[in-house]
A and B are shown apart, each in its own frame.
Chain A
Amino acid sequence: MSNNTAKASKHAKSESMWGYIMVAPTIIGLLALNIYPFLDTIKLSFSKTRPFGLYELRGIENYIQMFASAEFWRANLNTIYFCLLTVPIGIFLSLVVAVMLNTKIKGRTFFRAVFFLPMVVAPAAVAMVWKWIFNTEYGIINTILAHKVNWITDPGIVMVTCAIVAIWSAIGYDAVLLLSGLQNISKSYYEAASLDGATKVQQFFHITLPMVSPTLFVVLIMRLMSSIKVYDLIYMMIEESNPALTSAQSLMYLFYRESFVAGNRGLGSSVVIWTVALIGLVTIVQFWGQKKWVNYEV
């Protein structure tokens, strides 16, 4: 008996030793690569850059400067506008694609692969080809429209152009996630509904939509977060010399330009902190709002 307890305690000891050894690389990495940088960014946001990589604590000076900057508020508006343009339409189209992919037809794995294709192409390359397609003088879209629309340089249109490309890029990814949610719905619900004479449209609204709502919620949160953080696509489509830059500059683009082009890392850090707060706020609102429409019953 006592032999057994000794063995058990020895086992527990070796278990906790191995526990520490096995989490060590990850924990050390997280502390050095994420936790320390996170705290450091907060500190930077209260500091001014000095030559030779030195910093000087300056209180809320950066935040005052940021809140007084028209460019900053414009970047907020641009980011929100981008989210409003991409998230509802993008998720709606992804849901349509997912529902279509969920029908029993030949070639659906092929179509799934086609919609997913932009995911494996770097956003940098995607932006290049769309810039060419949307080119004012020689772009194929304007040729078809027989009209010279300044898709990329008109401040009033540029965000719509970026949104089209963003939706096109993400549709397959979101559809694949939604499809896995759709495939979890038991066929018996549809069979019962058909027997009761429900049409396909009724089935969609009364069975499919409520049953897929938890997945839809995950996709919505994820898409919203990545839309608030949008950077690479806009960076590639809109260069520094573009007259529409201020109308397309997202918060993360502003952060990049402030921190790594203008070299004002303190102010850049304030912009990041602000963006994180914005993401946090939006997420809280989403989690609060989900009670009204997400169905976890079944």
Chain B
Amino acid sequence: MNSSLERSRKIRTAGVYAFFVIGSIVMIFPFVWMFLTSFKTVEESMIIPPTILPEAYQTKNYTDAMASLPFFALYKNTALMIFWRVVCAVIFSSMAGYAFAKLNFKYKNALFSLVLIQMMLPSQIFITPQYQMLAKVGLTNSIFGLVFPGLVSAFGTFFLRQAYMGIPNEIAEAAYLDGCNQWQSFVKVMAPLTKSSMAALAVFTAVFAYGDLMWPLIVNTDLKMMTLSSGLATLRGQFATNFPVMMAGSLLAMIPMVVLYLFFQKQFIEGVAMTGGK
């Protein structure tokens, strides 16, 4: 009886491992194939049956990709866009989230309903007028243009409001009795208590800003002002049949985020799991 139970448990564990091994291959293979292809010559990439490992690890595809796309500028633009969007989302959402959760003021509910309305609407409904506003003041093809739709975050406000609602009122009251005004008790006492939520919001904002494609394509059409995502889209047209160069370009575009992910894997996953549902 006991040994048959033991055996069925072993079989089950083996089954789970088999599932994960197959699953991992499916998940990782495209990246491995991208990596290997990026070192092959065009001719080699077209051999049938294909070679698995490149005959020689030549880096011409990388220099070609860097010659047709200003990768340094793309990295810089993407980093600046992410940086400002994260800073704005975290600071403004913390302030508003705290006020909506802990302070009493007239029309609070009406103002909060604006946050909810924004969250319910898909971002595409704002895009055309947002673009026209920027075009009117000549701010297309700028970092500000990239950051623009992310200057405030309704989702961040909602999310941090939840975090502040989880903190007992007594803490803020104690700070008030100690002589802090509202602003001081927010900055010195309350905000530090939401660190993990702020980190989650930062990760969430960064990952989605990095992957965003439609807005950067529309607002910054000058190659030097593009992001990694929209830059890749132009590479696609230039090298329609040269897959090794496209693989090299894609690899260059994904490397920074993947490296960050390798180091902060836990924060990434937990950040996204915490903010989940958006």
- Residues of A whose CB lies within 8 Å of any CB of B are 11-12, 14-16, 18-20, 22-23, 25-27, 29-38, 40-41, 44, 53, 96-97, 100, 103, 105, 107, 109, 111-126, 128-133, 135, 137-138, 140, 143, 168, 172-173, 176-177, 179-180, 200, 218-219, 222, 225, 229, 231-232, 235-236, 239, 252, 255-256, 259-260, 265, 268-269, 272-273, 275-276, 279
Contacts and interface: CB of A to CB of B under 8 A. Distances in A.
A105 B16 contact: yes
A33 B152 contact: yes
Given A15-B182, A111-B23, A236-B232, 6 more contacts: A19-B103, A29-B152, A30-B152, A38-B121, A111-B20, A122-B253
B214 A117 contact: no
Contacts of A15: 103-105, 182
A114 B182 contact: no
Nearest to A273: B125
Contacts of B186: 18, 22
A113 B262 CA distance: 9
A258 B30 CA distance: 33
A126 B49 CA distance: 24
B45 interface: yes
Instruction: Please report whether the interface of chain A is mostly helix, strand, loop or mixed according to DSSP.
Output: helix
The interface size bin for chain B is 35 or more
A123 B213 contact: yes
A275 to B, nearest CB: 7
A113 B273 CA distance: 13
A218 B31 CA distance: 30
A130 B149 CA distance: 30
- Closest 5 pairs (CB-CB, A-B): A29-B152, A19-B105, A37-B129, A18-B182, A16-B105
B272 interface: yes
A239 B236 contact: yes
B211 A123 contact: yes
Given A122-B254, A143-B49, A177-B277, A14 B181 contact: yes
Nearest to A13: B105
Interface in B251-278: 251, 253-254, 257-258, 260-261, 265-266, 268-269, 272-273, 276-278
A132 B246 contact: yes
Given A111-B23, A132-B33, A133-B30, A44 B129 contact: yes
Given A30-B114, A132-B247, A222 B278 contact: yes
A132 B152 contact: no
A20 B95 CA distance: 10
A235 B233 contact: yes
Contacts of A229: 122, 124
B124 to A, nearest CB: 5
B183 interface: yes
10 contacts: A30-B115, A30-B152, A33-B152, A34-B154, A35-B114, A37-B127, A121-B254, A129-B33, A168-B26, A232-B211
- Count chain B CB atoms within 10 A of each CB in A129, A177, A235, A259 and give the residue with the most: A129
- Count chain A CB atoms within 10 A of each CB in B17, B127, B132 and give the residue with the most: B127
B118 interface: yes
B157 interface: yes
A128 B240 CA distance: 11
Interface string B70-114: 000000000000000000000011011011100111101001001
B24 interface: yes
Nearest to A26: B96
A101 to B, nearest CB: 9
B16 A133 contact: no
Contacts of B125: 37-38, 41, 272-273, 276
A119 B207 contact: yes
B74 to A, nearest CB: 11
Contact of A172 (B27, B128, B130, B228): B27
Contact of B269 (A37, A113, A239, A256): A113
A121 B257 contact: yes
A236 B243 CA distance: 14
B88 to A, nearest CB: 8
Interface string B8-20: 0000110011011
Contacts of B98: 22
B232 A22 contact: no
Given A122-B232, A177-B277, A239-B237, A25 B92 contact: yes
Given A113-B269, A114-B28, A132-B246, A41 B128 contact: yes
A41 B181 CA distance: 42
Contacts of B266: 109
A34 B95 contact: no
